[in-house]
Chains A and B, each alone.
Chain A
Amino acid sequence: MSRTKKHVLAMLAAAPLLLASGHGFAATGQEASKPVKPETESRGEILSLSCAGCHGTDGKSASIIPSIYGKSPDYIETALIDFKNGSRQSTVMDRHAKGYSDDEIHLIAEYFGNLSKKNH
């Protein structure tokens, strides 16, 4: 959790009345009964949205750029780590991979890996 978010939550916790009204509200909302996505999965999805700009929606490429969809989590994670530490040659992927922590790379790999499993 980011420092910013922790700070916000701390502030909210210090205002129990406000927090309570927020929750009560959510419970009456139409979407409240829907299962809330676990934080890690959502984070993986948010991170993965960035990839679609070049690799296509859901990582399905329609061009010379390689697809991510259909690759295994292991393959994706290894590729990204190798781009990051420079052991795999690239044009632009090294510059992108350096923007993600190893944990984030793991989440991205899991997200894309599971996406193709889900739809097969």
Chain B
Amino acid sequence: MSISRRDFNKLLLAGTAGSAFGLFGISNTAFAARKRVVVIGGGFGGAATAKYLKKLDPTLSVTLIEPKAAFVTCPFSNWVLGGLKTMKDITHTYTALRNQYGVNVIADRAVAIDPVKNSVKLSSGKVIGYDRLVVSPGIDFKYDEIAGYSKKIADSSMPHAWQAGPQTVLLHKQLQAMKNGGTVVLCPPGNPFRCPPGPYERASLIAYYLKRHKPKSKIVILDAKEKFSKQGLFTKGWERLYPGMIEWRSSTGGGKVVGVDAKTMTVETELGAVKGEVINLIPSQKAGKIAFEAGLANEKGWCPIDPASFESTMHKGIHVIGDSCIAGAMPKSGFAASSQGKVTAAAIVNLLRGQEPISPSLVNTCYSLVGPNYGVSVAGVYRLSEAGIVEIPGSGGLTPVDATDDQLEQEALFADGWYTNICKDIWG
């Protein structure tokens, strides 16, 4: 977005602040009451926002709407597939948010947003008013891009396991049931998608499991892309730890999936069919459903925002964060979503006090485990510029390709430490 447009929005915001539908979206009589912030989605973005809103301003009334009683993280779900963690290890409740931070957690689904009346409707029929709304619903899938594929097939025979929970369990069971010598077909989607290095960490940790329990098996990656995240690091790691076990095909090299047949467990590519005992197809993605229903997404399927506050450019008073939003140079990761959540919490506290948001500082670190003692990472520090959210030149980047075994082991330890701390930072 151009700077003039953003400035114009801010000017509008400031200008309408005193009017009935201004900054707080409600009449002056409500000013005496506690300011109400409602958050939709208790994942990496939403739960972090709720916690930090209360931490930064305990006088706020903060309501978190999330249908699941406990959240299962995608981060470390690949470690579960590799046998290095259990589902219990990656499941987090909302008890601390509720009891320690005073967040009003409602176990329900938001079904509609009224951006004019500033209210959210839940599936129970309950309507909740807000002064500011935060929407962090994660992703939804484009099931209709591949012939023969559907949500039903994903739920029964070809799990994506790209939202953690029952999908992870299904894929895990299929891997455990597979015979020694079987083929695992893994199909990563095109950009942009949740967790760019995720499919390749998954291939690594499935290989780790297979090498120990089913060493005659192999993994074929049919990729919708020509290259992938941390490619040099992964390729080197695969050669060192799992030689001959993982085959990667680029989009034009026979990787592009055009159809599937669930009955014969076959994936159809532009260059022929590939059979697999286990097929982990990860479909293309778009913003979470509620973002579409509320008119927050653009024609490309993601939500445009003002990068200074993550306020939607489609509807005032609503902030969209995490995988659903378009955050410039930031990848769609849990770390990024939580960083955006904190920045948004700070911006909302300021906005509710009639102040400008402080220019944000954003960050990301994505660790990937290639093997139990073999970690690699990509890091990024981001700021606001005239071009939106950009990475600070000279900062960030990848684990060096010539990293020593000691460094790789350290990174694996830090990956584990990171998970403990970020989950505690968000749900703890």
User: Residues on A close to B: CB < 8 A?
Assistant: 2-5, 7-8, 11-12, 15, 18-19, 21-26, 28-32, 34, 36, 39, 42-43, 45-47, 49-50, 52-57, 61-65, 91-92, 95-100, 104
Contacts and interface: CB of A to CB of B under 8 A. Distances in A.
B42 to A, nearest CB: 17
A52 B35 CA distance: 26
Interface stretch (B176-184, B186-194, B252-260, B360-368): B360-368
B399 A91 contact: yes
**Interface SS of A by simple majority:** helix
29 contacts: A4-B7, A8-B7, A11-B11, A12-B10, A12-B14, A18-B11, A21-B15, A29-B353, A29-B354, A32-B353, A32-B354, A50-B339, A50-B342, A50-B362, A52-B421, A53-B338, A53-B363, A53-B425, A54-B365, A57-B425, A62-B420, A65-B418, A91-B399, A92-B399, A96-B396, A97-B395, A98-B392, A98-B395, A99-B363
A62 B386 contact: no
A47 B6 CA distance: 23
B421 A22 contact: no
Interface stretch (B226-234, B287-295, B405-413): B405-413
Contacts of B421: 52-56, 61-63, 65
Interface in B27-45: 28, 31-32, 35
A117 B365 CA distance: 29
B335 A53 contact: yes
B147 interface: no
A31 B381 contact: no
Interface stretch (B17-25, B165-173, B217-225): B17-25
Contacts of A65: 414, 417-418, 421
Interface of B: 3, 6-7, 10-11, 14-15, 17-18, 22-23, 28, 31-32, 35, 52, 55, 59, 308, 335, 338-339, 342-343, 346, 352-356, 358-363, 365, 377, 379-381, 384-386, 392, 394-397, 399, 407, 410-411, 413-414, 416-418, 420-422, 424-425, 428
Nearest to A100: B381
B13 to A, nearest CB: 9
Nearest to B399: A91
Given A18-B15, A56-B424, A91-B399, A28 B362 contact: no
Contacts of A21: 14-15, 17-18
A18 B13 CA distance: 10
A100 B413 CA distance: 25
Nearest to B346: A46
A64 B419 CA distance: 11
B15 A15 contact: yes
B15 A49 contact: no
Contact of B361 (A12, A23, A47, A92): A47
Nearest to B52: A49
A52 B424 CA distance: 10
Closest 7 CB pairs of A and B: A99-B381, A26-B354, A99-B395, A63-B417, A50-B363, A63-B420, A65-B417
B361 A53 contact: no
Nearest to B380: A99
A8 B399 CA distance: 39
Contacts of B28: 28
Contacts of B23: 25
A54 B28 CA distance: 42
A30 B392 contact: no
Given A56-B424, A96-B381, A2 B359 contact: yes
Contacts of B417: 54, 61, 63-65
Contacts of B353: 26, 29, 31-32, 34, 36
Contacts of A95: 379, 395-397
A110 to B, nearest CB: 15
B354 A92 contact: no
A7 B7 CA distance: 8
Contact of A99 (B55, B377, B396): B396
A62 B175 CA distance: 33
Nearest to B411: A91
Contact of A8 (B339, B354, B356, B397): B356
Contacts of A30: 31-32, 35
B416 A63 contact: yes
A92 B412 CA distance: 12
Nearest to B347: A46
A31 B352 contact: yes
